[in-house]
Amino acid sequence: MSRTATAIDRAKEQKGAAFIGYLPAGYPDRDTSIAAAIALANSGADVIEIGIPYSDPVMDGPVIQQATTEVLGRGFRLDEVFEVVKAVTDATDAAVVVMTYYNIIDRMGPETFARRLAEAGGAGAITPDLIPDEAAEWIAAAEKHDLDRIFLAAPTSTQERHRAIAEASRGFVYGVSLMGVTGKRAAVSDAAAQVVQTSKAAGAERVCVGLGVSTRAHVEEISAYADGVIVGTALVAALRDGGVDAVASLTAELSGRS
């Protein structure tokens, strides 16, 4: 059974849509990133995304780019991701998934990456630049190690693409609310609800929405039609400006716990 799906279903039974928070591995340093992710879980997050810092992101907005640039600048190594995942899974009940561009998995080897992620207690991976048509190796490795594989559905995805994403995904489908990069927005795109509706019609059991979500009003709006709400940039900015306590406070506010 998918641990991510279990966490989402448990949240729906208890409070409605799941709250999913993103933080980069190793930011601003290894120990603080672990403490922040644990605080995220203890303050209302049902699923935690641990982002792998990347030198040439295609989806991350300026706040996350700046954070991950700092991490890479201090000599970050991929082993640190598995250390962070293990520390967080050991300390919380949240499902922990990594978010990574696929060439990192490809370079290590899908089998090795999946094995190490599973050994660390990870629940799966979000791969924003990987399409199901080219994911056979990753799907096989994830299946072997009982990991979720989470693909993205966008407002521009065709009906055929939605079906392929729904069939290939396990855990949830990541519904992109707008075309562009991550970051705070004044309002949630009208396209988000349509992405969820189309994805569900294509067979997706769970669809969680991210990109541009930064306020409690956004969370409540998306919770009306999605299975989970994903917040990244606002949490990274809180960690940058106020440390672990600020992450805990913002998570409690956004998730409706405070």
Active site residues: 49, 60
Give 135-169 as a DSSP string.
-HHHHHHHHHTT-EEE-EE-TT--HHHHHHHHHH-
Omega of the bond leading into 28 within 30 degrees of 0 (cis)? yes
The whole-angstrom separation of Cα 86 and Cα 99 is 15
For residues 96 and 124, the answer to whether their CB atoms sit within 8 Å is no
Question: Exposed, middle or buried: residue 133 (CB in 10 Å: 0-12, 13-18, 19+)?
Answer: exposed
SS3 assignment, position 21: strand
Strands (DSSP E) found in 139-247: 148-150, 152-153, 173-176, 207-210, 228-231
Element (H, E) at 7: helix 3-14
